[in-house]
Amino acid sequence: MVTGAGSGIGRAVALELMGAGWSVALAGRRVESLAGTARLAGRRPERPHGPAADGGPDGADEARAADGTGAGAAGTDGAAGTDGAAGTDGAAGTDGAAALCVPTDVTRPGDVAALFAAVRDRFGGLDLLFNNAGTFGPGGVPLEELSYDAWRQVVDTNLNGAFLCAQAAFRQMKEQRPQGGRIINNGSVSAHVPRPRSIAYTATKHALTGLTKSLSLDGRPYRIACGQIDIGNAATEMTDRMQRGVLQANGQVAAEPVMDVRDVARTVLHMAELPPEANVQFATVLATAMPYVGRG
């Protein structure tokens, strides 16, 4: 399952997983974007039956069986083998793997419940959640001017949405047989070092690191592995501004280098395809020359 699978990092990771033979549940706000991801992978977009078919306010973006949802790539700053997930009869890919498009708003508990119900109905089990949905929120707003509503929007998506998806995945992985699975949270280099005027984004990404650690500890008895990938300046729609110039810690505005988002996707695939006995707890992948070490 990949949340935020309709664009950016979520789309790149979903394409990499499907290219490796995974059946993937694609979650996000706009079902047409999810269908576009499926088609780019050469898959026929499937839709769930029941409540999840209608999903979020305008449809949604987020699932080897793997799951993706929400407002877009979350942090640009237990795998079952490459034969796909269970229940792939009638699947659209030439390799028999499926692309299930589930409109989802990860900030809504009902949407998340419907998403995971759709994955259970279609695949029977869940091997992987790439917990990717997220938002930068309003950029460049001085701390003292940031509205509470803007703060809440970022917290609801980046932290509450990540928790809801992780909790649902944990519950399903604990209950299914064979027991276990893998959760990969999309953190950010901002989980370690902030950018100026990014308090909401930075705070939620630091919190996501705590979520990752707790999931790892609580999942240990149930063969549920949890890791986190912290990404810096992957080239997506959300990072176009990096090359035009962004505020630095010294008060200057400077352009920053970016890297190919496919390098992020390959890293996630490596993490996802490790055996259950192995886990990448934290991985940092960033543009080599970006101002990260020494930032601030």
Regarding beta strands 2-3 and 45-46, do their DSSP bridges make them parallel or antiparallel, or are they unpaired?
Answer: unpaired
Distances (CA, A) of 27 to 18, 123, 185, 215, 228: 14, 15, 15, 21, 19
Count of all residues that appear for the chain in the document = 296
Bridge-based pairing of strands 45-46 and 246-247 is: unpaired
Look at the alpha carbons of 237, 99, 104, 185 in this order and tell me if their dihedral is positive or negative.
negative
Whether 96 contacts 157, CB under 8 Å = no
Q: Report whether 142 contacts 98 (CB < 8 A).
A: no
Instruction: From the candidates 148, 201, 222, 292, give the one annotated as an active-site residue.
Output: 201
User: Would residue 292 show up in a list of annotated catalytic residues for this protein?
Assistant: no
Measured at the CA of 278, the angle between CA 272 and CA 284, to 5 degrees, comes to 60
Catalytic residues: 201
